[in-house]
């Protein structure tokens, strides 16, 4: 008897459900479908394996905690899976860092290690050979690595080309007809990379003098209409307040001088989405920096400038 009642219960509940739905208006049915689809999407988002990015306290202080949270959230939506920052101490050994990663997620989709934690990346790959491990080298040359670790490097030529477009745009807003453009780099910048930068200037119609300087060179910086600072020249940023600056840095844009108009950020958090899309289990991939146009510091043309520097 009880078995028959239990067998009838699902059919009875289904009949009640059909009766309930039949009494709903078309609008109410649509709302229920939308709500159900939303719940499925949210559930899928949180059930998917997350991406882990190892960070440390010095990076968080320079990058900004709020900016770090915002960037992680933005990349999470782009990847449709959670991106979780794994904070560690700068003095932490490889074993400690691996333990922190293990506590963050047992089976992550991928783990991104900054280049200074190469030993931890190698150890994690040894412990989890099937894991997707990415080593974020930035502009640095990768050291010898164990097999299976993907090296992510900054796409310097593309970055410099976009910086050239931005510099020419900012220079054009200056009324000086003889003003020069200052480019701070280091001695390791290949000549072909400088040429890429100059090609971008030419494309935007900038034909005036370009001064290439490294930190060891002394010189006067008069009649400068725009400055580009890569890994050098930050002293120029500290003393110049009127010259528009294109800056390559991980620093929080909110604490930069008002002269900084564009920032190119190749930090692991900023390029995580692009790194995962480009890697595809490759041994090495090149990913461009993420540009940020400081629109509130420009009197005009912020959207046009953003269109110039965005990654296509």
Q: Does the residue 231 lie in any domain?
A: yes
Cα separation of 266 and 282, whole Å?
19
C-alpha dist (Å) from residue 207 to 167, 200, 310? 12, 11, 23
3-class SS at 289?
Answer: coil
- The b-or-e profile of 60-90 (16+ CB within 10 A means b, else e) is eeebbeebbeebbeebbeebebbbebbebee
Per-residue pLDDT of the chain (312 residues; tens, 9 = 90+): 444 444 455 666 656 656 665 666 777 667 766 776 667 666 676 778 999 999 998 899 899 999 999 999 999 998 889 999 999 998 899 999 999 999 999 899 999 999 999 999 999 999 999 999 999 998 888 887 878 899 999 999 999 999 999 999 999 987 677 789 999 887 677 889 999 999 999 999 998 999 888 766 666 677 889 999 987 667 777 776 788 999 999 999 999 999 999 999 999 999 999 999 887 767 889 999 999 999 999 988 999 999 999 865
| Cβ 98 vs Cβ 117: under 8 Å | no
Q: Does the residue 178 lie in any domain?
A: yes
Cα separation of 149 and 283, whole Å?
7
Its pTM stands at 0.84
Q: Does the residue 100 lie in any domain?
A: no
Q: Does the residue 17 lie in any domain?
A: no
Q: Does the residue 113 lie in any domain?
A: no
- The b-or-e profile of 243-256 (16+ CB within 10 A means b, else e) is bbbbbbbbbbbeeb
Residue ranges making up the domain that contains 297 = 156-265+289-309
- C-alpha 97, offset from chain centre: 22
End-to-end CA distance of the chain: 69
The DSSP letter of residue 261 is E
Q: Does the residue 161 lie in any domain?
A: yes
| Cβ 186 vs Cβ 232: under 8 Å | yes
**Residue carrying structure tokens 């939303």:** 38
The H-or-E segment that residue 279 falls in is: helix 268-279
Q: Does the residue 215 lie in any domain?
A: yes
Q: pLDDT, tens digit, for every residue of 112-134? A: 999 999 999 999 999 999 999 99
Cα separation of 67 and 282, whole Å?
30
Number of domains in the chain: 1
Q: Considering only CA atoms, which of 201, 204, 207 is closest in space to residue 228?
A: 201
Q: pLDDT, tens digit, for every residue of 198-235? A: 999 999 999 899 988 876 666 667 788 999 998 766 77
Look up the CATH number of the domain holding residue 251.
3.40.50.2300
Cα separation of 312 and 300, whole Å?
23
Q: Does the residue 170 lie in any domain?
A: yes
């Amino acid at each position: 008897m009880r078995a028959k009642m239990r067998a009838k219960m699902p059919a009875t509940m289904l009949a009640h459900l059909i009766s309930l739905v039949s009494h709903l208006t078309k609008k109410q049915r649509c709302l229920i479908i939308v709500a159900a689809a939303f719940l499925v999407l949210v559930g899928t988002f949180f059930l998917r394996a997350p991406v882990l990015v190892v960070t440390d306290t010095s990076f968080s202080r320079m990058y900004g905690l709020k900016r770090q949270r915002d960037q992680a959230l933005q990349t999470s939506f782009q990847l449709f899976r959670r991106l979780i920052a794994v904070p560690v101490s700068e003095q932490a050994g490889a074993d400690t860092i691996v333990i922190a990663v293990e506590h963050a997620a047992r089976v992550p989709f991928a783990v991104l290690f900054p280049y200074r934690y190469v030993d931890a990346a190698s150890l994690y790959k040894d412990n989890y050979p099937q894991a997707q491990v990415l080593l974020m080298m930035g502009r640095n040359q990768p050291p010898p690595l164990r097999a299976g670790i993907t090296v992510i490097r900054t796409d310097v030529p593309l970055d410099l080309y976009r910086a050239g477009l931005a510099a020419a745009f900012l220079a054009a807003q200056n009324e000086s007809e003889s003003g020069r453009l200052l480019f701070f780099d280091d001695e390791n910048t290949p000549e072909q990379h400088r040429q890429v930068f100059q090609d971008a200037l030419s494309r935007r119609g900038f034909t005036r003098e370009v001064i290439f300087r490294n930190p060891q060179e002394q010189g006067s910086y008069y009649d400068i209409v725009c400055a580009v600072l890569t890994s050098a020249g930050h002293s120029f940023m500290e003393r110049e307040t009127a010259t528009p600056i294109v800056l390559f840095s991980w620093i929080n844009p909110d604490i930069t001088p008002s002269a900084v108009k564009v920032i190119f950020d190749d930090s692991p958090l900023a390029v995580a989405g692009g790194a995962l899309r480009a890697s595809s289990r490759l041994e090495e991939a090149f990913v461009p920096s993420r540009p940020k146009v400081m629109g509130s510091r420009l009197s005009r043309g912020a959207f046009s400038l953003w269109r110039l520097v965005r990654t296509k």
